[in-house]
């Protein structure tokens, strides 16, 4: 069983997945989000969303735990908990989408979603009022659906905090803490739906060295770069990968059309 799983993963294209995992880990360590935005589209295009989405979830939960524990000490729990609860309630909807939606359609949807999120974040727009409970729950629910469906629950939450008055350090801590809580519910939902297969665990084990290296370097880089620089780096990388993946998915769809 495990040998078969390894054989299905260990192909030449996995080298590209590993290289992308280093970049994804760097952005995650630096900004507190963005790993799924970078790695999942590439991984999905070379393999499938059903493998890519839970694989990153497992790898991130395991290798990102030290970063998560640090964030739990620095986050604002009054902001994090309502979002996390709403996200976990909405997770089953996202898992259902992942199981029923065609892979190419998922790739196109995730790429468009990423580009839209980056566009909003890059504008630098911020709201001046404290968001109420309805806006908080809506953001958490959107994150839960996106996390379950395409493993990209970060953008709604990042927009929620970075568009407000939180500085980069506080937004980063809140985001990491949120995913530390929400990822537990996400993995439980994947397990219930039979998505945590031997192939997922094998691919996660293979990715952890590359992803962990990027995570470590990114966490150290955050200490020495400015807020403006980290935004530019993150947005540029995410947008470039999303645009490339979108084009590849559309070409794949066109080539398979009768």
* Domain residue limits, the chain: 50-251
| Mean pLDDT to the nearest integer, 81-104 | 81
pLDDT band of 246, cuts 50, 70, 90: confident
> Would the pLDDT of 213 be above 90?
yes
Average pLDDT over the chain, rounded to whole?
A: 79
| Mean pLDDT to the nearest integer, 92-102 | 79
pLDDT band of 210, cuts 50, 70, 90: very high
> Would the pLDDT of 78 be above 90?
no
Q: Output the pLDDT for position 2.
A: 67
pLDDT band of 163, cuts 50, 70, 90: low
> Would the pLDDT of 131 be above 70?
no
Exposed, middle or buried, 199 (CB in 10 Å: 0-12/13-18/19+)?
buried
126/231: higher pLDDT:
231
| Mean pLDDT to the nearest integer, 217-236 | 78
Q: Output the pLDDT for position 74.
A: 85
pTM: 0.69
pLDDT band of 45, cuts 50, 70, 90: confident
| Mean pLDDT to the nearest integer, 163-180 | 75
| Mean pLDDT to the nearest integer, 177-201 | 83
CA angle at residue 105 from 104 to 109, to 5 degrees? 120
227-256 and 35-46 are packed helices; what angle lies between their axes, rounded to 10 degrees?
A: 20
Number of H helices, E strands in the chain: 12, 0
* CA atoms of 64 and 124, how far apart (whole Å): 28
| Residue in this structure with the two tokens 């969303």, named with its chain if needed | 49
8/22: higher pLDDT:
22
130/84: higher pLDDT:
84
Among 16-25, 27-36, 151-160, 237-246, the range of highest mean pLDDT: 16-25
Q: Output the pLDDT for position 22.
A: 93
* CA atoms of 244 and 249, how far apart (whole Å): 9
The share of the chain scoring above pLDDT 90, in percent, equals 5
Q: Find the range with the poorest average confidence among 29-33, 111-115, 152-156, 211-215.
A: 152-156
* CA atoms of 248 and 171, how far apart (whole Å): 33
CA angle at residue 196 from 192 to 200, to 5 degrees? 165
């Amino acid at each position: 069983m495990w040998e078969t799983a390894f054989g299905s993963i260990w192909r030449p294209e996995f080298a590209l997945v590993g290289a992308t995992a280093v970049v994804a880990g760097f952005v995650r360590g630096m900004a507190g989000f963005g790993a799924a935005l970078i790695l999942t589209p590439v991984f999905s295009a070379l393999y499938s969303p059903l493998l890519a989405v839970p694989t990153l979830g497992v790898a991130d939960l395991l290798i990102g735990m030290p970063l998560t524990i640090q964030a739990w000490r620095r986050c604002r729990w009054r902001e994090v908990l309502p979002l996390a609860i709403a996200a976990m309630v909405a997770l089953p909807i996202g898992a259902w989408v992942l199981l029923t939606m065609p892979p190419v359609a998922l790739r196109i949807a995730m790429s468009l979603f990423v580009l839209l999120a980056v566009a909003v974040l890059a504008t630098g727009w911020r709201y001046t009022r404290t968001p109420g409970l309805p806006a908080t729950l809506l953001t958490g629910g959107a994150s839960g659906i996106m996390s379950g469906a395409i493993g990209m629950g970060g953008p709604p939450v990042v927009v929620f905090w970075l568009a407000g008055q939180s500085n980069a350090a506080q937004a980063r801590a809140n985001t990491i803490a949120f995913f530390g809580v929400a990822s537990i519910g996400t993995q439980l939902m994947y397990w219930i739906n039979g998505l945590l297969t031997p192939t997922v665990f094998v691919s996660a084990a293979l990715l952890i060295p590359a992803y962990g290296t990027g995570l470590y370097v990114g966490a150290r880089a955050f200490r020495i770069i400015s807020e403006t620089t980290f935004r530019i780096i993150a947005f540029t990388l995410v947008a470039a990968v999303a645009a490339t993946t979108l084009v590849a998915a559309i070409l794949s769809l066109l080539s398979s059309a009768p």
